[in-house]
Amino acid sequence: MRPLDIYEKDPSKQVTIYFEGTPLIAYEGEKISVALLANGIRWISISSEGRKRGAFAFGPALVKINGIKNKDARKTKVKDGMRIERQTYLEYQESVEVDKSKPPEKYVIDVAIVGGGIAGIGATLELQDYLTVALIEEKGYLGGDMRRKSVPVKKFDNKEAKEVVKDLVTKLNKNVKVFKGTTLLGIYRDGNLFLLSAAKGERLVEIYAKKVILATGAVDNFMLFENNEMPGVFRRDFALELINVWGVKPGNKVAVVGRKPEDIVPELERVGIEYIIVKNPKRVEGEESVERIIDIEGNVYEVDAVIMSDGRRPDMNPITLVGGKIIFKNGAYVPVKNDKNEIIEGVYVAGSVASLKSHYANYLEGRLVARYILNELGVGVSIQELKEEFEKINKEIEEPLPQIDLSKLNLEETYICGCDVTLKSVVDVVNGGITNLQIVKRLTHLAMGFCQGRYCLFNGAVIVSKLSGIDMDKIDLPTARPPLKPVTMKVIGNE
Amino acid sequence: MSDIVVIGGGIVGVSIAHELAKRGENVTLFEKRYIGSGSTFRCATGIRQQFGDEANIQVMKRSVELWKKYSEEYEFPFDQTGYLFLLYSEEEVEDFKKNIALQNKFGVPTRLITPEEAKEIAPLINIDEVIAASWNPTDGKADPFFAVTAFARKAKEYGAKIYEYTEVKDILVEKGEIKGVKTNRGFFKADIVVNAANAWAPLINIMAGIPIDIPIRPYKHQSIITQPIERGSIKPMVISFRHHDAYITQTHHGGVIGGIGLEYGPTYDLTPTYEYLKEVTKTLPQIVPALKNLRILRMWAGYYAKTPDSNPAIGRIEEIDQLYIAAGFSGHGFMMSPAVGEMIAELIIKGRTHLPIWWYDPYRFERGELREKAIQMG
């Protein structure tokens, strides 16, 4: 077993990869980032400003593969003999490979569902007997946050979360075209239809649909403390995926930080990872990767990984991309929707992108939205019973605002954005009298990088609100623009 | 002292307010959103003197002097990294030879260079079919947002009042004299009004009830930006008319910014289009092949406020005492703005300016005297 393997992997799939010249064991199907971590390697890339970076906090995870620069270690799978090297974010590949690209795959279907989590699956199951469905999921697996968990879910007969997903997925029928590993890039109106543009690896996919359901989920809150982006810091969702999808542990001795330790702790206990909960983290330190964490009171804890478990908030980028409006409610920005969960004509929301609630409520909401659409498209189905059940269990989760004590942090070493934007640069601009987040964004480059603000805009809004006294609901949040996720020019521009 | 009101907080309005305040005038600027929120920060950073007519060359020569002066004094990035027009046919070369001769006459040091020299200036470009290039090393680029905020800050220091989120709803004119402007936040006394609303200028003209037709219409243009790469990878603004009027350069931050001339309109819609995204990603790598490997981070749209001859309307509206206009910049207003600020300030204070403002006469459309079309690109 490799240093951080939780269990033995299938030996018939074993391959050898090289990192900075050292041979390492990997298994077919693994992502580079996962295989390197299993071997204990956390520092894999170098930021624009020369900071050491891993693959599980924020910012891109760019590496050189077989001499080709600017490849994504989170998306590329290992191959036998692969040579991987570190690079800085600014290195790019000048030579152009011989063009092997094919024209876009095109599909015409009834309903396109973006997001293969529990809400998307629920909606698909309702629709598939009557209509054709495209289920688009960026990850290589369906189930979203539930697939990343082993805890039992009461409302689903007390079955393990990931088992619930597996059972439901077997029920998908031939009316469903599942697009795994497929990243949504944009949604455009095309006459009476919507055109969804997506990238499946290096191939462009174009899906024409009558209706769209955004079941795109929530994103984890990113916490602000010193060196919060260094290798060895993990977002909760990445840590869960490592444990439950890949069978790899984030570390041998882990510090859990954030206001929701209960969202990760049972999973750590289940696989026997030693952990300590550290309230009020001030700073993490280490040579190449996390070696210790220090809290505000000055207590030092020796650990090899830090997991941020600080709750989630709906991802507003897909909402604003299609022209949906947002409001601030229960501590989060959420989409404005009508009583059928429609945000603009023909585009619906379901699951935790609509509001934060339990897995089961998200599942029911997916099914409910599907029934609204069935009725819209002339398939009469009953709504009442499902609606009542949903309304009975739907308790929206209130997210408290992060308490950021600026006086206790070295702001120059605290990162608000993965693209080398320090908390200091944002605080300076706001203290300089600029309280408009749109301007803060342009002056600091906050939210102008790889994630389009998915992991930093909320904190930016909190800082502006805190320093200026402007209410969160009065802050003008920037609108997401295509492409929703970064994509190389050759993927789109090749016909 | 007169109360001067400038309508529009883009780079042009802010430059005008800055020049007036610097000269001690009492100036108030109204912006319906926030400073720089219109076409200014949607623009692609380019500043060039390579035009095809005497007036624009002279104005841009002055503008570049001011860009240099103010960027040093106010500490915002302006890099004189040049403009490189790639030429692919004998006809293009002949046209550019004429432009270059005219530019040289006014002291702009443009020259015709070989494809190999072009490649030395911008090593990433593909010169396979390039037969020559027009090169002026004193052209450059500036960060629109840093520039507009710097000018606004200085304008305030000189005493200008800047009201953001304040939309002008009406202009009060009595017997041909301006009395004031009505906004969503109240009424303000004004003796002099400057319309610097560019794409929205026609609406302001209607409020003032001007008796002449100044045909300015908004057109949707789009741009893209890539992930940041090593700084200095693409120093100049590279232009190719052959490729859909393409432009490509690298921003101060490191991202490669670029676009093509695919235009929609007239429209006030700013939704990015898929057609554009496909076209631009197919086209730009033909000029810089390495772009194929770069990730696009964002695309966006902004207005070109176009006139029939792609030259702005800058001047005084005679029938209304005292209304001025500086609008309709047709895609090259950012680069012109410091000189426009100077022209309008001089016109208001002295009644005349040393720059050839007559070329931009707002009455030329009515008289049917369209100018030679200004080179509209970047």
Is residue B299 within 8 Å of residue A482, measured between CB atoms? yes
Same domain, residue pair A183 and A326: yes
Q: Which of A390-394, A403-407, B337-341 has the lowest mean pLDDT?
A: A403-407
The answer to whether A482 contacts B272, with C-beta atoms less than 8 Å apart, is yes
Nearest by CB: B285 against A195, A449, A489:
A489
Domains of chain B (ranges, CATH numbers):
4-43+145-215+309-359 (3.50.50.60), 81-138+217-306 (3.30.9.10)
Of A232, A256, A255, A283, nearest to A414 (Cα)? A283
Quick one: closest CA in B to A485, which residue? Answer: B297
Same domain, residue pair A134 and A22: no
Domains in chain A, number: 3
* CATH code for position A77: 3.10.20.440
Same domain, residue pair A71 and A113: no
The answer to whether B277 contacts A450, with C-beta atoms less than 8 Å apart, is no
* CATH code for position A133: 3.50.50.60
In a domain, A253, yes or no: no
In a domain, A280, yes or no: no
Range of the domain at A344: 105-219+313-393
Tokens representing B242 are: 């052959």
The answer to whether A94 contacts B284, with C-beta atoms less than 8 Å apart, is no
What is the ipTM metric for this complex?
0.95
Quick one: closest CA in A to B278, which residue? Answer: A493
Is residue A92 within 8 Å of residue B293, measured between CB atoms? yes
In a domain, A334, yes or no: yes
Same domain, residue pair A113 and A214: yes
| A83-93 confidence digits (pLDDT tens) | 999 999 999 99
Same domain, residue pair A36 and A162: no
Q: Is the per-residue pLDDT at A495 higher than 70?
A: no
pLDDT of B376 reads: 78
Same domain, residue pair A28 and A174: no
Q: Kindly report the pTM of this predicted structure.
A: 0.95
Residues of chain B with pLDDT under 50: none
The answer to whether B253 contacts A94, with C-beta atoms less than 8 Å apart, is no
The answer to whether B124 contacts A94, with C-beta atoms less than 8 Å apart, is yes
| A164-175 confidence digits (pLDDT tens) | 999 999 999 999
pLDDT band (50, 70, 90) for residue A99? low
Which neighbouring-strand residues pair with B298?
B225
In a domain, A465, yes or no: yes
Q: Which of A396-400, A438-442, B170-174 has the lowest mean pLDDT?
A: A396-400
d(CA B11, CA B338): 8
Is residue B181 within 8 Å of residue B171, measured between CB atoms? yes
In a domain, A279, yes or no: no
Q: By a Cβ cutoff of 8 Å, what residues of chain A touch chain B? A: 48, 60, 70, 89-96, 186, 188, 195, 197, 323, 419, 434, 436, 438-439, 442-443, 445, 448-450, 452, 481-483, 486-490, 492-495
The answer to whether B282 contacts A90, with C-beta atoms less than 8 Å apart, is no
The answer to whether A486 contacts B291, with C-beta atoms less than 8 Å apart, is no
* CATH code for position A455: 1.10.10.1100
pLDDT of B378 reads: 59
Q: By a Cβ cutoff of 8 Å, what residues of chain B touch chain A? A: 34-37, 41, 124, 145-146, 149, 164, 226-231, 233, 253-254, 271-274, 277-278, 280-285, 289-300
Q: Is the per-residue pLDDT at A494 higher than 80?
A: no
In a domain, A239, yes or no: no
CA distance to partner chain A, nearest, from residue B274 (Å): 7
| A200-246 confidence digits (pLDDT tens) | 998 999 999 999 999 999 999 999 999 999 999 999 999 999 999 99
Same domain, residue pair A366 and A444: no
Q: Count chain A–chain B contacts defined by CB atoms under 8 A.
A: 124
The answer to whether B292 contacts A96, with C-beta atoms less than 8 Å apart, is yes
- In A, which residues are within 8 Å of B232 by CB distance? none
A334-361 average pLDDT score: 97
Provide the strand spans (E) within chain B. 3-7, 26-30, 46-47, 78-79, 83-87, 111-113, 132-136, 140-142, 161-163, 168-174, 177-183, 186-189, 192-195, 217-228, 237-240, 246-250, 255-259, 295-306, 313-317, 323-327
pLDDT of A371 reads: 98
Same domain, residue pair A386 and A445: no
d(CA A223, CA A168): 34
The answer to whether A93 contacts B293, with C-beta atoms less than 8 Å apart, is yes
Q: When comparing pLDDT for A159 and A397, which is higher?
A: A159
Same domain, residue pair A196 and A328: yes
* Backbone angles phi and psi of A24, in degrees to 5: -140, 155
- In A, which residues are within 8 Å of B34 by CB distance? 436, 438-439
Tokens representing A175 are: 């009316």
In a domain, A258, yes or no: no
The answer to whether A488 contacts B293, with C-beta atoms less than 8 Å apart, is yes
Instruction: Mutation target for B interface from A65, A88, A92, A347: give the one with most B CBs within 10 A.
Output: A92
Same domain, residue pair A74 and A120: no
Q: Is the per-residue pLDDT at A315 higher than 90?
A: yes
Tokens representing A120 are: 């998307």
Tell me the average pLDDT of chain A.
95
Same domain, residue pair A385 and A438: no
Q: Is the per-residue pLDDT at A101 higher than 80?
A: no
Q: When comparing pLDDT for A449 and A248, which is higher?
A: A248
Instruction: Mutation target for B interface from A489, A492, A495: give the one with most B CBs within 10 A.
Output: A489
In a domain, A167, yes or no: yes
| A104-142 confidence digits (pLDDT tens) | 999 999 999 999 999 999 999 999 999 999 999 999 999
Of A88, A121, A139, the last residue of a domain is: A88
Quick one: closest CA in A to B293, which residue? Answer: A488
pLDDT of A338 reads: 98
